Amino acid sequence: MEKRRPHYELKAIVAQMTSVEAMNLTQTAVSGIRCAGMTKAEALEVVRNLSNSNFYKSMTTIKSHQTWQDVYHAEWRDKPLYIKFQQAGEYFVVSFKER
């Protein structure tokens, strides 16, 4: 299932993302950051600078139609990025990669 408005409040996501550790990066996200040629600190800066205009879509996971993930598009050094967040108590960066 998909929708064109955020499921989570970006303001709350950004408020949590105060350090690399607070991003709760999945292994997939860590791998994507590395493949994009970025450091985790640079990825944190990108996340902290997201705005509502970067929102792309919300979608449910394959395993559960009740678990939502918000997708944002951003740019870093002219590289288009795809960033996906999910909440399970805290927010997690589920995916972070070049588009």
What pLDDT does residue 93 have? 98
Q: How many domains are there within the chain?
A: 1
Residues of the chain with pLDDT under 70: none
What residue numbers bound the domain in which 48 lies? 2-98
What pLDDT does residue 10 have? 98
CATH of the domain at 18: 3.30.2310.40
What pLDDT does residue 33 have? 98
Half-sphere exposure at residue 3, Cβ-oriented, CA atoms within 13 angstroms? 11
What pLDDT does residue 68 have? 97
Q: If we measure between CA atoms, which residue out of 22, 32, 24, 72 comes closest to residue 49?
A: 72
Residue 32 contacts residue 97 (beta carbons within 8 Å): yes
